[in-house]
């Protein structure tokens, strides 16, 4: 079947009479709800449950910590599988499978009496981490990428705004309240019930596959050009894939001649492959050969490694600095959550560059924040720390899901994003462990953070 021909996939009956613009907004809202529920696998939720297991004496804190970080590593290794299923089955079916298994994992953890076994506990931690923070988040963000092009950053920005607000503002406090009132087991049972009652209907009714599978050729952005523009106007790579073969042949030669002048879009190493394939959609194998992908993934690894390590040991750092009379970890996290939500909108309305400049900005702020933390005993610099770390978290929450789609298109975005997510989550898993070991050897967190602050600045040099 030619890519331009409508597929046999039908819209859900409830959405048959909706306009394309309405469908785009429905997809954006549904994906945002999915991202909010992916917080079940995030550290704020898992941390509350892990702390309850320690307090009730099931396992030592060291054992729980080891199990948790092993689960992050194993879940990260499985992320390409989630991306593959997304590309093959589509967002709707993959979402239903993931949501069902996530709810089952919550119920088994709550009432399956498995928390006394280390191996079963590791398995259930992997399951919740993979289906929640990993797969559901990947599906939701890339469904937005497939349905929105010109306004993709705006939608992803507002989605990340809600996501950050839920993650830092709503979930932790609600979970602590539920745990104090009903216990951690019933709290997990309530989460599983909410997932079943809310996310399964949302996935079935409003999660949709690639827009072109429904025979639709636009994504609510009528001004988006259908080929590489000669000026700096935004170009969305996934649009051109649906040209007819005659149109492809007509513009192919011009595209190849001008490819070197558009290196901000895609690495020149792809040019030979693009001559013989769909010239404006990149195969996932070719994306992995592109230097842009590995520079981007290294920035994501650095982001996950340094921020997770900092968050995990922030309490110990404050104790070593003896600043609890001036500030507290909860105040710092509140500031980070606030500015993370605000700066989620920065890529949407301020910095709309499509090259590596956004990554250079975030790496600079990340390195600067590791220097600022040495002076957090000053109230104004505590706010500066919240701004810098919050800006990194907010912007990377958006850049980490839109840049790959802008560079490589959306036909194979699941596989490409799956590999990138593996690298990012490995950084998140290794950060706390490595930082703890180095701090133990040097007997100082501050010296370790000072050395780590050099890392982002060296990355900036590589990005040039």
Determine the pLDDT at residue 103: 92
Q: What is the pLDDT of residues 183-217, one digit of tens each?
A: 878 888 888 899 999 999 988 888 887 776 666 65
Rounded (10°) CA dihedral 341, 203, 97, 184? 50
Give domain status of residue 246, yes or no.
no
Residue 15 binned pLDDT confidence (cut-offs 50, 70, 90): low
- pLDDT band of residue 227 (cuts 50, 70, 90) is very low
Contact 443, 172 (CB under 8 A): no
Residue 301 has pLDDT above 90, yes or no: yes
Quote the domain boundaries for residue 381. Answer: 287-463
Q: Which helix (H) or strand (E) holds 11?
A: none
CATH code assigned at 69: 1.20.1250.20
More confident residue, 169 or 370: 370
Question: What's the token pair of residue 122?
Answer: 């590791």
Same domain, 159 and 294: no
Listing DSSP states for 124-193 in one string gives HHHHHIIIIIIIIHHHHHHHHHHH-STTHHHHHHHHHHHHHHIIIIIHHHHHHHHHHHH-HHHHHHHHHH
Q: Are residues 49 and 197 in the same domain?
A: yes
**In residues, how long is the chain?**
464
The C-alpha atoms of residue 73 and residue 384 are separated, in whole angstroms, by 32
Q: Which of the listed residues 182, 210, 238 is the one where a domain comes to its end?
A: 210
Decide which of 210, 227, 262 is a domain's last residue.
210
Q: Are 246 and 212 in contact (CB under 8 A)?
A: no
Nearest of 276, 274, 303 to residue 407 by alpha carbon: 274
Eight-class DSSP state of 198 = I
Q: Which of 163, 194, 56 is nearest to 397 (CA)?
A: 163
Q: Mean per-residue pLDDT for 45-71?
A: 76
Please give the Cα distance from 91 to 207 (Å, whole number).
6
Neighbours of 276 (CB within 10 A): 8
- Quote the Cα angle for 85-298-347, to 5°: 80
- Do 118 and 23 share a structural domain? yes
> Are residue 201 and residue 304 in the same domain, yes or no?
no
Phi, psi of 187 (to 5 degrees): -65, -45
226 within a domain of the structure (yes/no)? no
Range of weakest confidence among 104-113, 163-172, 257-266, 328-337: 257-266
Counting the structural domains of the chain, the total is 2
Q: Does 279 reside within a domain? A: no
* Residues sharing a CB contact under 8 Å with residue 375, sequence separation 6 or more, in sequence order: 381
| pTM (predicted TM-score) | 0.73
pLDDT given at position 99: 92
> What confidence tens digit (pLDDT) does each residue in 328-364 have?
667 777 788 788 888 888 766 665 666 778 888 889 9
Inside any domain, residue 6: no
pLDDT at 91 over 70: yes
Contacts 24+ apart (CB under 8 A), 379-387: 379/326, 379/327, 382/326, 382/327, 382/331, 382/332, 382/335, 383/335, 385/332, 385/335, 386/332, 386/334, 386/335, 386/336, 386/338, 386/339, 387/335, 387/339
Kindly state whether residues 87 and 190 are assigned to the same domain: yes
């Amino acid at each position: 079947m030619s890519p331009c021909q409508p597929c046999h996939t039908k819209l859900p009956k409830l959405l048959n009479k909706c306009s394309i613009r309405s469908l785009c907004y429905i997809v954006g809202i549904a994906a945002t709800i999915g991202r909010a529920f992916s917080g079940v696998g995030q550290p704020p939720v898992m941390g509350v449950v892990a702390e309850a297991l320690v307090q009730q004496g099931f396992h030592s804190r060291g054992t729980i910590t080891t199990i948790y970080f092993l689960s992050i590593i194993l879940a990260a290794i499985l992320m390409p599988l989630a991306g593959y299923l997304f590309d093959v089955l589509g967002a709707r079916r993959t979402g239903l499978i993931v949501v069902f298994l996530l709810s089952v994992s919550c119920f088994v953890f709550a009432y399956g009496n498995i928390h006394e076994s280390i191996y079963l506990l590791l398995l259930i931690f992997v399951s919740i981490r993979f289906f929640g923070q990993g797969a559901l988040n990947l599906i939701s963000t890339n469904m937005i990428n497939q349905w929105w092009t010109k306004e993709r950053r705006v939608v992803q920005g507002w989605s990340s705004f809600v996501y950050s607000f839920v993650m830092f503002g709503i979930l932790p406090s609600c979970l602590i309240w539920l745990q104090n009132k009903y216990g951690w087991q019933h709290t997990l049972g309530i989460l599983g019930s909410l997932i079943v009652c809310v996310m399964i209907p949302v996935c079935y009714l409003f999660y949709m596959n690639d827009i072109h599978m429904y025979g639709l050729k636009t994504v609510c952005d009528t001004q988006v050009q259908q080929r590489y523009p000669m000026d700096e106007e935004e170009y969305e790579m996934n649009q051109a894939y649906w040209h007819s073969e005659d149109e492809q042949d007509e513009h192919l030669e011009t595209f190849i001649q001008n490819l070197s002048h558009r290196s901000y879009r895609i690495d020149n190493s792809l040019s030979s492959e693009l001559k013989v394939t769909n010239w404006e959609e990149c195969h996932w194998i070719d994306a992995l050969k592109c230097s842009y992908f590995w520079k981007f993934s290294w920035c994501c690894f650095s982001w996950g490694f340094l921020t997770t390590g900092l968050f995990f040991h922030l309490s110990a750092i404050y104790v070593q600095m003896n600043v609890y009379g001036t500030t507290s970890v909860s105040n710092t996290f509140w500031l980070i959550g606030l500015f993370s939500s605000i700066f989620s909108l920065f890529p949407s309305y301020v910095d709309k560059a499509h090259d590596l400049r956004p990554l250079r900005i975030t790496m600079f702020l990340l390195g600067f924040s590791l220097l600022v933390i040495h002076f957090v005993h000053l109230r104004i610099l505590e706010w500066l720390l919240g701004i810098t770390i919050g800006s990194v978290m907010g912007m990377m929450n958006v850049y980490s899901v839109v840049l790959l789609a802008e560079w490589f298109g959306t036909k194979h975005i699941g596989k490409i994003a799956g590999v990138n997510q593996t690298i990012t989550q490995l950084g998140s898993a290794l950060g706390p462990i490595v930082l703890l070991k180095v701090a133990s050897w040097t007997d100082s967190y501050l010296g370790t953070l000072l050395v780590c602050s050099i890392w982002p600045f060296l990355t900036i040099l590589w990005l040039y």
